[in-house]
Chain A
């Protein structure tokens, strides 16, 4: 197990890391999403990136509270997080959660938190371009049929469509796009605080609607970039009893097993 240092560790050693890995609540506590955090920190370590986490000093960014309508709680969380981040003089942040990414990047500046924030797919793209990630010639995913699900908060909310796709291209997968993709990508159903409540009454669930479309591409792997989408789509795959044939993976998991 690679050792992962916290900002406090770096400070104690009188050093400053190159980048802060903002793990997020899902990445810290959700069993499925923890594997994504691990895969990502593995890659960072393999590439020799000097990174830190906040550990116990990290809190929810406030995204679900804000979107549920609780602006007060959001700003309270933001205030505390910004105090911590500014206290450590953090300049650059990477996160594997598009919700944290959006909040840190777009919503913290108004409250005094100004950082360069990137999503893990963007950092991974940089690392490949710089030659720091060397993929094995015949990866286990070569030629495999996959489909890619744009999360709302990386896609529409922040217009990041190409970095994840170029990562998939570097893995030589057979990418089958869904009809609703990029700007017209369909939500997984988790955003806006929906992850934390029952869905409203309707004809069907949003995640099964989206998963159906993903399965229709004939993909063996549904690739996601968000821990909440991953959960929603995995539940969707289970509802169609396809969990033995079709996997839902974060891009970083594909990359980590191809180095």
Chain B
């Protein structure tokens, strides 16, 4: 009975606090501009199946992809065992699904648990490899300036949390197995925990039951902690990779988003009829803060897991420039979080705090380094586009602030006056034929 009460308190407490935080994230994303995606629904689902579920783009770097897949598969299948743990928690029963299946199909239950055990072991190995890759091998893309402090801790916390989760499962299964063997000569025949159980056979029945309970609680608390922690962490990608892949931009990568509000101005300048716009609305070009970005840009920022493949492929970053596409995404998320916190204490109203994504988070020098080569977009395993954000901030710099390098001003002037970025007369445009 005590267990049921304690479990229920925990369950509803976790639900309440995580609801608040997840709702905040939803509201933060909604701060962006409406986003429409013209891709047919079937294509959207295909993208989600291939990119999020199938992790297709991860496999461009096969070795980390395989280890990542172990953790992912273990996570997905362990949800089945989690279901049983939750049911047991609510009802005070023990292995509710297992007992229900004992009568009809015991083989299916043990096969499932065996699968979970094998995947959990593989995930454990992967976790140690990832920890050492990050902390001992110090892979360059996992040790850049933007990861100093919290992001680095965040990554390690999750990896250590994963070890605890797996440890909990094995402790529960093997202590229980040992107890069953001791008391009636036969335990569960789970593939790994029946082996681990051999370590426990000298323990007393009480200790074994306690250890098994401890394993159960450890796993449960691990899961609850994970749910609470997730929205503060880069590991939110395990959820948001799905909507993000679903909303993959269907256009050619080279196509930059078009600005209809400017097209109307051009047309009216050229004497064409245009729909009357609201004369009181002050047009704003490009993005200065998160409110000016699209909801997809903001979803991108929350879906980013800071793996840094974008940055490791970026020509500007590889040659030592300030620009890091990953930092663009991290800054966007940090600014959103800041705005969200301020709105939270202010009845969900926004009061200007005198800051903006542009300048306070992302500098002009970073933006100026981009060659629009699309390497970052190509690399991202969950189809995030740092380039789309960079372009919108660049537009704001040029069209709102007239903040442009001198050479670009010259280039703009030449294009406007002679139809070429260099100072050549348009009348000489066909002279190459006879030169």
B-contacting 9-mer, from A12-20, A102-110, A137-145, A240-248: A102-110
B373 partner, pick from A55, A111, A156, beta carbons under 8 A: A156
Determine whether A58 belongs to the interface, using a CB cutoff of 8 Å to chain B.
yes
Q: How far is the CA of A61 from the CA of B47 in the complex (A)?
A: 32
- Considering the complex, which residues of chain B in the window 346-376 have a beta carbon less than 8 Å from any beta carbon of chain A? 365, 368-375
Determine whether A88 belongs to the interface, using a CB cutoff of 8 Å to chain B.
no
B254 partner, pick from A4, A157, A183, beta carbons under 8 A: A157
- Considering the complex, which residues of chain B in the window 380-399 have a beta carbon less than 8 Å from any beta carbon of chain A? 391, 394-399
Q: Are A202 and B319 in contact (CB under 8 A)?
A: yes
Q: Are A106 and B252 in contact (CB under 8 A)?
A: yes
A192 partner, pick from B258, B373, B377, B395, beta carbons under 8 A: B373
A106 partner, pick from B255, B267, B319, beta carbons under 8 A: B255
Given contacts A71-B399, A201-B321, contact A79 B408 (CB under 8 A): no
Q: Are A65 and B321 in contact (CB under 8 A)?
A: no
Given contacts A60-B420, A75-B266, A158-B254, contact A192 B432 (CB under 8 A): no
Q: Are A73 and B432 in contact (CB under 8 A)?
A: no
Task: Specify which chain A residues have a CB less than 8 angstroms from the CB of B421 in the assembled complex.
Answer: 25, 60, 64, 195-196
A–B pairs, 7, beta carbons within 8 Å: A34-B435, A68-B398, A69-B404, A73-B412, A75-B259, A183-B378, A201-B321
Nearest residue (CB) in B for A184 is: B313
Q: How large is the interface on A (under 10, 10 to 19, 20 to 34, 35 or more residues)?
A: 35 or more
Nearest residue (CB) in A for B426 is: A56
Q: Are A111 and B263 in contact (CB under 8 A)?
A: yes
B-contacting 9-mer, from A124-132, A164-172, A203-211: A203-211
Nearest residue (CB) in A for B404 is: A68
A193 partner, pick from B254, B315, B316, B408, beta carbons under 8 A: B408
Determine whether B137 belongs to the interface, using a CB cutoff of 8 Å to chain A.
no
Determine whether B262 belongs to the interface, using a CB cutoff of 8 Å to chain A.
yes
- Considering the complex, which residues of chain A in the window 3-62 have a beta carbon less than 8 Å from any beta carbon of chain B? 4, 6, 23, 25, 27-30, 34, 37-38, 41, 53, 55-56, 58-60, 62
Q: How far is the CA of A219 from the CA of B422 in the complex (A)?
A: 32
Q: Are B373 and A65 in contact (CB under 8 A)?
A: no
Determine whether B184 belongs to the interface, using a CB cutoff of 8 Å to chain A.
no
Q: Are A72 and B320 in contact (CB under 8 A)?
A: no
Given contacts A192-B371, A201-B321, contact A71 B259 (CB under 8 A): yes
Q: Are B420 and A28 in contact (CB under 8 A)?
A: yes
Determine whether B251 belongs to the interface, using a CB cutoff of 8 Å to chain A.
yes
Ranked nearest first, the 9 interchain pairs of A and B with the lowest CB-CB distance are A157-B254, A203-B320, A59-B419, A69-B394, A192-B372, A202-B320, A69-B398, A187-B373, A106-B255
Task: Specify which chain B residues have a CB less than 8 angstroms from the CB of A65 in the assembled complex.
Answer: 411-412, 415
With contacts A23-B432, A71-B286, A106-B255 known, what are 20 further pairs, Cβ within 8 A? A1-B433, A4-B433, A28-B431, A29-B422, A34-B432, A38-B433, A56-B426, A58-B419, A60-B415, A60-B420, A68-B412, A75-B259, A75-B262, A107-B258, A157-B252, A193-B408, A201-B365, A202-B369, A206-B316, A209-B315
Determine whether B46 belongs to the interface, using a CB cutoff of 8 Å to chain A.
no
Determine whether A66 belongs to the interface, using a CB cutoff of 8 Å to chain B.
yes
Task: Specify which chain A residues have a CB less than 8 angstroms from the CB of B286 in the assembled complex.
Answer: 69, 71
Q: Are B411 and A27 in contact (CB under 8 A)?
A: no
Q: How far is the CA of A190 from the CA of B373 in the complex (A)?
A: 9
Q: How far is the CA of A184 from the CA of B315 in the complex (A)?
A: 11
Q: Are B371 and A189 in contact (CB under 8 A)?
A: yes
A194 partner, pick from B313, B371, B420, beta carbons under 8 A: B371
Task: Specify which chain A residues have a CB less than 8 angstroms from the CB of B378 in the assembled complex.
Answer: 156, 183-184
Given contacts A55-B429, A56-B429, A58-B419, contact A204 B320 (CB under 8 A): yes
